[in-house]
Amino acid sequence: GRAEAASGPVDPNKPQAKSLGYVLDATKVDPKANPNFKPGQMCANCLQVPKGKEGGAEVPCNIFAQRPVSAKGWCKVWVKRP
């Protein structure tokens, strides 16, 4: 149902995640498809993760309405934390 879609870890196969190129493991990003990607970028060090929530294997993401994403993951809206 609808409730299920809005909770739980983000599924990389869902349309929004796919459109953003979300992967569970940043080491598997295709650099040809994502020329902006640099090794070392991952959800754990992205600005979209609320401050103080960076620890743990999964981290909440602002892009996905605070749903958990893999800390080692990556997507196209990755922004360096200042």
Q: How far apart are CA 28 and CA 49, in angstroms?
A: 21
pLDDT digit string, tens, across residues 5-30: 557 899 999 999 999 999 999 999 99
Q: Is a pLDDT exceeding 60 seen at residue 78?
A: yes
pLDDT digit string, tens, across residues 57-72: 999 999 999 999 999 9
Q: Is a pLDDT exceeding 80 seen at residue 4?
A: no
Q: How far apart are CA 38 and CA 58, in angstroms?
A: 21
Cβ neighbours of residue 39 closer than 8 Å, sequence gap 6 or more: 26, 27
- Going by pLDDT thresholds of 50, 70 and 90, the confidence category of residue 2 is very low
Q: Is a pLDDT exceeding 90 seen at residue 3?
A: no
Q: In DSSP terms, which residues pair with 48 in a beta bridge?
A: none
pLDDT at 28: 95
Q: How far apart are CA 62 and CA 38, in angstroms?
A: 21
